[in-house]
Amino acid sequence: MHVSQFLSLARQRRFDLQQALAALPAEFARHDARRQELQQLREQTLDELAQVNLPTLDQPALNAVEAWTGYGRFRGLNLTDYLAREQNRLTQRAAEIRADARFIRRQELLDPTAGELTLRAKQAGDELTLIESGLQRYEQEPDFVSLYRRGYRTPSYRQSILTLQYYKDWKRGDEITEKFGCKAFSEVRAAYEHLLRGREVCQKTLQGIEGEIQDVRRLIAELNETQRRLADLPAFVLADFRRMLREHLAFANREQLFQWAGGDRVRESLIKRLDGIEKQLEYTTALAGRQLNEERQYLTTEIGKLERKLTKFSRPKYAGTQLRPADAQSWLRDPRERLAARRQRFWRDYDRVAYYDRYDRYDFASDLLWWDVMTDGRLDGDFIPEVYQYRQMHPGYTYQSPTEPYRYGVDVS
């Protein structure tokens, strides 16, 4: 193959691989979509688990929470007293808001057209716009900002009189001074700094007014929320308590939760589902990251090899050279079809884990990996730290389906 033909084909192959590399993240958008679905499933499962462990707002249900979940926040809590205190607190807060002068004058302050704060904010905003317009006149003047920042005509100006830049600055400084109708550049600087100070003052004023507006709006929103809670206090307290319990459940040890479930089928099923979904999130992230990184590294390496060949054979001394066809074909090989086939196999394995839903097959009482349960022990997962460590701790381990008796690969039937 003539070297010129090789160079042309090599450039095209490099372009092909660069395009494949650039498109690689988009190829894994499917993983991002499934990860979001799994995260939503996890949130839903936590909601269900909190609801199952606190089904109603009554004293017996509160007293039972700790035994089911290990959450002791409700221990000793008298529900009747709590509801009474919360009722009093909300009633008192509502009265405080209604007595607040800002709330009383809320319409007068916030009216969209004639409100006191509304008008003040508009005035400050208009002033700020005017100042910004004045600053733009200076800042859009070529070289002015550069001269200003370098301290031209101030003691901080460090340009040597022996340099060409000094005379360029001098020329532009005089031109700018004349354009702005001043006698010296220092007057231009002073006028600009006056506007800068004005902008800072105006911004602080506007921020203060906007803060006052937000304070009034927060009072209105707080009163609305307080009234909503007072109208159906038990329902809101139940939601609060479930949210508190849910935060505990999100981080509680899954195996311990399963033990606390004490054989309750509904609770056990939810705990298995929660644990399994979290493992799916962990495993799919590891799977996708490994595949993505390996493809990226491979394509980057192949592009680098082509670039080195292009650099080498573009040198004048190789002009007119004939390359061995076998070498040229080897250097120009297109790996995209092989990568696509490998990715297809990857997605098959990925889907096996990502869409697994037979969570009840897992047994907390057995020393098993979710990875093996989800893959039926058919996929090598040693690139996942948990799986690798498990294999190291259990040499000779062989997974058996839950439908078969198993214990570290030993038939105990």
Overall average pLDDT of the 392-406 stretch: 71
- Give the per-residue SS3 of 229-254: HHHCHHHHHHHHHHHHHHHHHHHCCH
Residue 283: its pLDDT value, please? 95
Name every residue whose Cβ is closer than 8 Å to that of residue 408 and which is 6 or more positions away in sequence: 367, 394, 396, 397, 398
Residue 411: its pLDDT value, please? 40
Question: What pLDDT, in 10s, does the model give residues 317-371?
Answer: 888 888 899 988 999 999 999 999 999 999 999 999 999 999 999 988 887 889 9
Note the maximum CA span of the chain: 104
Percentage with pLDDT > 70 across the chain: 97
Percentage with pLDDT > 90 across the chain: 79
Nearest Cα neighbor of 191 from 137, 272, 256, 270 is 137
Given pLDDT bands bounded at 50, 70 and 90, which one contains residue 388?
Answer: confident
Residue 165: its pLDDT value, please? 93
Angle at the Cα of 108 from the Cα atoms of 106 and 110, rounded to 5 degrees: 60
Phi-psi region of 51 (alpha: psi -120 to 50; beta: other; left: phi over 0): alpha
- The number of angstroms, rounded, from the C-alpha of 41 to the middle of its chain's C-alpha atoms is 18
| 193/172 Cα distance (integer angstroms) | 19
Residue 382: its pLDDT value, please? 87
Name every residue whose Cβ is closer than 8 Å to that of residue 376 and which is 6 or more positions away in sequence: 399, 401
Tell me how long the chain is.
413
What distances in angstroms separate CA 112 from CA 16, 124, 207, 297, 412, one per listed residue? 59, 16, 18, 59, 79
| 371/404 Cα distance (integer angstroms) | 17
Overall average pLDDT of the 47-71 stretch: 96
| 350/290 Cα distance (integer angstroms) | 11
Residue 106 has pLDDT above 60, yes or no: yes
Collapsing DSSP to helix, strand or coil, 56 comes out as: coil
CB of 59 closer than 8 Å to CB of 79 = yes
Given pLDDT bands bounded at 50, 70 and 90, which one contains residue 413?
Answer: very low
- Sign of the CA dihedral running 97, 101, 105, 111: negative
Which DSSP category does 330 fall into? H
Given pLDDT bands bounded at 50, 70 and 90, which one contains residue 300?
Answer: very high
Residue 396: its pLDDT value, please? 79
Residue 407 has pLDDT above 70, yes or no: no
Residue 410 has pLDDT above 70, yes or no: no
| 380/391 Cα distance (integer angstroms) | 11
Angle at the Cα of 153 from the Cα atoms of 151 and 158, rounded to 5 degrees: 55
Q: What is the pTM of this model?
A: 0.77
Residue 2 has pLDDT above 70, yes or no: yes
